[in-house]
Amino acid sequence: MIGGIKAFFKLESASSLLLIAAAILALIAANSGLKSWYDQLLAVQVVVAIDEFSIAKPLLLWINDGLMALFFLLVGLELKREVLVGELNQLSKIALPGIAAVGGMLAPALVYAFINRHDPIALHGWAIPTATDIAFALGILGLLGSRVPASLKIFLVSLAIFDDIGAIIIIALFYTADLSLMAFSFAACGIAVLVLMNYLGVVRKTTYLAIGIVVWVSLLKSGVHATLAGVAIALCIPFKGVDANGKVRQPMQDLEHGLHSPVVFVILPVFAFANAGLSLAGLSFNDLLSPISLGILLGLFIGKQIGVMLFTWLAVVLKIGKLPADVTWSQVYGVAVICGVGFTMSLFIGSLAFQNVADNTGMNDRLGILSGSFLSAVLGYVWLRYIAKTKPGVLTDKPSP
């Protein structure tokens, strides 16, 4: 497992650099002579039509609804693997990061909601600071190398997995438009077919993906956010099976490996480029202090670390979970701060929360996301690099049980 974690971190570290580069390019495009080109590119109408059936959306929405469905497919596959054979397959392993993740979602939401309590439109964005960008968070730890123990990295991976589960539930429950029962029924039938295929031992990945496209289109038309199709498909793909020739196959693992590089090296950077283009023209410090920006900034930078630390401490004190032997409380605090890097998932939830708002609300949410994520990344790295120390065999800041 440790060897797999090391390889995983190398990939995530490289991915985080690409995300940074994509965000910087988006900011340059939105604040230079390229702005009109950037805006026009994202507004290009892309139409897919078969006879009288068609889907017509701007390029930005194809990225957010289409490409991100593949991201959620990968997330679903990773979640299923961890539950079956990974870090989430025993209650003793999941208690501490699971409880920490709950605190890391609850506290930022409360901070945001308190600051925006008088504005019902702004309150739609309460979930924006609850997210953690797993690629950035793991990339920061990857830059620290051996300065942090592998068990701390596993703790962050597990916490981020629960954070993803929370994001999926939030999107399904709170960011679904008016429901079309007919389209939703088609999606439900497609999912039923996928479940039946799993039960019958079908191992051909292309068959699952073909039915999955029908599920995605149906959800897109139903009002339920189409990216959730990726999670539904992932949960139906079998972990292991035997093909018609009697050969053992691992379709879930094969698909996860096949998707990982395209998702982290192409899809997520494309998403970042399409959504991080914040125009700084006319912005002032007062814009950062607007309720939406400030709520997101404080939710990510303050709420995340308070929530993760408080709930981790409660879990340890109540003996629901325990820290790994080589992890100190100062290192846990560093991880709690890094969890405030919400970038990709926060931008995604923001695009759902304010997609029908015509004013500059979207500008304010991106300003808060970029500011809060930047502060969390810098403080988290500096804390773990220069302040949190581990002395072999001596954990001076770890309380006795």
Q: Are 370 and 161 in contact (CB under 8 A)?
A: no
- Tell me whether residue 400 is in a domain: no
Q: In tens digits, what is the pLDDT along the chain, a chain of 401 residues?
A: 444 445 555 555 567 778 888 889 999 998 998 999 999 999 999 888 887 777 888 898 899 888 888 988 988 888 788 788 876 677 777 889 999 999 999 999 999 999 999 999 899 999 999 988 877 787 787 777 777 887 888 788 788 878 878 888 888 888 876 678 888 899 999 999 999 999 998 999 999 999 999 999 998 888 777 778 888 899 899 998 888 788 888 899 999 989 988 988 888 889 889 888 878 777 777 878 889 999 999 999 999 999 999 999 999 999 898 888 788 899 999 999 999 998 888 888 888 888 766 555 556 888 899 899 999 999 999 999 888 765 444 334 444 34
The per-residue b/e assignment along 320-347, b for 16 or more CB within 10 angstroms, e otherwise, is ebebeebbbbbbbbbbbbbbbbbbbbbb
Q: Which residues contact 131 (CB under 8 A, 6 or more apart)?
A: 163, 167, 342, 345, 346, 348, 349
What's the rounded Cα separation, in Å, for the pair 150 and 272?
Answer: 29
- Tell me whether residue 399 is in a domain: no
Could you list the residue range(s) of the whole structural domain that residue 264 is in? 2-387
Q: Are 3 and 252 in contact (CB under 8 A)?
A: no
Structure tokens at 224: 């339920």
Number of independent structural domains in the chain: 1
pTM of the model: 0.77
| Main-chain dihedrals φ then ψ at residue 118, nearest 5 degrees | -95, 0
- Tell me whether residue 11 is in a domain: yes
- Tell me whether residue 13 is in a domain: yes
What's the rounded Cα separation, in Å, for the pair 19 and 274?
Answer: 11
The domain that holds 328 is classified in CATH as 1.20.1530.10
Cβ atoms within 10 A of the Cβ of 112, count? 29
- Tell me whether residue 395 is in a domain: no
Query: In Å, how far from its chain's centre is CA 183?
Result: 27
- Tell me whether residue 48 is in a domain: yes
- Tell me whether residue 232 is in a domain: yes
- Tell me whether residue 212 is in a domain: yes
